[in-house]
Amino acid sequence: MDAFTPAYGLLDARAASEPDRCALEVEGGGSLTFARWRDGARRVAGALLARGVRPGDRVALAFGEDRWDGFAVAYVGVLAAGGVAVPLPGGMSAGTTARALEHCGAVGAVHGGQPPPAPWTAALDDLVEGGPVADPVPVAPGDPAQILFTSGTTGTPKAVLACHANLGHGWAARPRHRPLAHSRHFLHSFPLGTNAAQTMLFNALGAAPTAVMVPRFRPDAFLGAVARYAAGTVFLVPAMAAALAARATEAPEACMPAAPGVLLVGCTGAALPPPVADALTTLFPRAAVVNYYTSTEAAPAQTTMVYDPARPSSVGRPSAGRIEVRDAAGRALPPGEAGDVWLASPTATRTYLGAAGEGAPVFRDGWTRMGDVGRLDADGYLHLLDRETDMVQVGGFKVATIGVEAALFAHPDVTDAAVVGVPDPVLGTVVAAAVVALPGARLDTGELRAFVRARLTEAEVPARVVVVEALPRNDGGKVVKRDLVGLFDTPVAPRVTNARTLAAVWEQVLAVREIAADANFFALGGDSFRAAQLAAAVAEEFGVEVPTTFAFDVPELAGQAARLDEIRGGGSAR
């Protein structure tokens, strides 16, 4: 296993060389110098050891973002005692928290205010004020160090275990050069308990600038903090980036003071929609906009992409580890072919805690399956097509929701968008979209569908669109898509277009039997003469006027069915 420096080793080195330097700060709250951070962590370690915490014991941490300074002290203190830190996401319900603590076997919890339901709990302030100072307990590279819970956007959150070597990869106690040296401060608003927030904590330990947490992200407050701290670097998730872009569109004069000093905008957590990336380059004109692609399970393996309009959909090439796109049998695919995305860790891999075999489909021989469908181009850049669980099957066509969402984001009055599949009596499933409008804009869903039709295939055009005030998101900023489906539960008028009836018209015109929903008119022998015949037959059968170019405009059966439903607007067939 590669050489590593544990978290408390990084902190000891900074406290020895820069004791009075501000390590991290909470805007409007507390701050820590490296010396105070080290001293507090050693007191926490001493108090935990006095309580009987032994190496490998799991200790939960319950803190809000406004107590990030306290969380940092408690986190390093648990590791210094030889324990395993379990940061709890703030958005967990009481029941979910209790199950999570039971699942990970937490012996107790350190908290910054509200104690969780653990076997014992201790307020951080009590540990720091009354605890004896302890030297760190020696640990081995493979010893467990941290348990994080996945976002749970598609199901029950899973507990992900990381060892000290995994967390410490790439960090040295006394490096020749420290990352982010172009900045005096870097800013973020990542919720505690997320992989992104933990990355920021290690940046605070090892990078050059002071780390600043801006609690409870709000666009104006965040941009104000960027200006006050003269930040050189900001880190966002795509939802935050979209909110900043929308605010810049709504009130550009309020955003401009924040822009000049920012040289790096880092985005993580999901692929950054190209229209949002474009907006960030306008909002921060001197900054490189960088998309980092990883996951709670895969870290520190990741790809990195400096936004390039020539490759707008790419999340880059590996900056740590390796990447492969594989078929269902696990074989690596050549460039251009779509398959499952796998990342290989440059160090010890993470794993799921708990049920034997649960991680077998995800972790394999140092590789982590990302749960995404993607392809590599000839230059090795990864292009994501969709989450495996988000792909929508529309009448035989596989629709990637990422592409549909990007088309929706391109509309000037759309500030946020998410796409799901919803049941349909004819096609089985159709695309449905929930969008958030720019404040003050009157977003017409019919006009929006016409707008995206110019950018999408017919199967990709949302059959249903709803405008909402906000999308359901978890604490990490990811859309909880299972909560979107309920928006489309309201019954709609019966569809006029019966796909079987339309298929019968095709059979008559083409003299072909058993036409599938994903069939292409011209692939089955259609030509310009038969296309004109089809237009006339459709007009006769369904009582609508369609152009003679109907088959050329929409050659697939499923697309024609959707287009006819739109033309008829819910009326009854003749």
pLDDT tens figures, 140-191? 999 999 999 987 655 567 899 999 999 999 999 999 999 999 999 999 999 9
Domain boundaries defined on the chain: 1-169, 312-387, 391-488, 499-568
CATH architecture type of domain 312-387: Roll (2.30)
562 close to 458: Cβ distance less than 8 angstroms: yes
Written as one string, the DSSP assignment of 370-437 is: EEEEEEE-TTS-EEEEEEGGG-EEETTEEE-HHHHHHHHHTSTTEEEEEEEEEEETTTEEEEEEEEEE
Q: Distance (Å, rounded) from C-alpha 190 to C-alpha 11?
A: 21
According to CATH, the topology of domain 1-169 is Rossmann fold (3.40.50)
Question: For residue 519, is pLDDT > 60?
Answer: yes
Decide if 312-387 and 391-488 have a common fold. Answer: no
pLDDT of residue 574: 33
pLDDT of residue 427: 63
Question: For residue 424, is pLDDT > 80?
Answer: no
Q: Distance (Å, rounded) from C-alpha 512 to C-alpha 52?
A: 78
β-pair partners for 289: 265
> Does domain 391-488 match CATH 3.50.50.60?
no
Question: For residue 2, is pLDDT > 70?
Answer: no
Superfamily of domain 499-568: ACP-like (1.10.1200.10)
Q: Distance (Å, rounded) from C-alpha 165 to C-alpha 152?
A: 26
Of 25-34, 77-86, 280-289, least confident by mean pLDDT is 280-289
Written as one string, the DSSP assignment of 331-380 is: PBPPTT--EEEEEE-SSSPPEE-SSTTTTTTTEETTEEEEEEEEEE-TTS
pLDDT of residue 257: 55
Crossing angle of the two packed helices 68-80 and 34-50, in degrees rounded to 10: 50
Please state, as a whole number, how many other Cβ atoms lie within 10 Å of the Cβ of residue 172. 15
Beta strands at 351-352 and 159-163: parallel, antiparallel or unpaired = antiparallel
Which residue from 85, 106, 64, 67 is spatially nearest to 6, judged by alpha carbons? 85
Q: Distance (Å, rounded) from C-alpha 104 to C-alpha 40?
A: 26
pLDDT of residue 254: 65
pLDDT of residue 251: 76
Return mean pLDDT, the chain. 88
510 close to 530: Cβ distance less than 8 angstroms: yes
513-528: average pLDDT = 75
For the CA atoms of the chain, what is the radius of gyration? Answer: 27
Which pLDDT tens digit goes with each residue over 141-152?
999 999 999 876
180 close to 203: Cβ distance less than 8 angstroms: yes
Which residue from 441, 459, 448, 342 is spatially nearest to 400, judged by alpha carbons? 459
User: Which three-class secondary structure state does DSSP give residue 445?
Assistant: helix
364-391: average pLDDT = 91
pLDDT of residue 493: 41
> Which of the four pLDDT bands, split at 50, 70 and 90, describes residue 259?
low
Residue owning tokens 């760190």: 136
Which pLDDT tens digit goes with each residue over 548-572?
788 888 887 877 887 887 776 644 3
314-326: average pLDDT = 95
pLDDT of residue 480: 86
Which pLDDT tens digit goes with each residue over 335-354?
999 999 999 999 999 999 97
Beta strands at 428-437 and 464-467: parallel, antiparallel or unpaired = parallel
Strand extents, DSSP E, 112-150: 121-123, 144-149
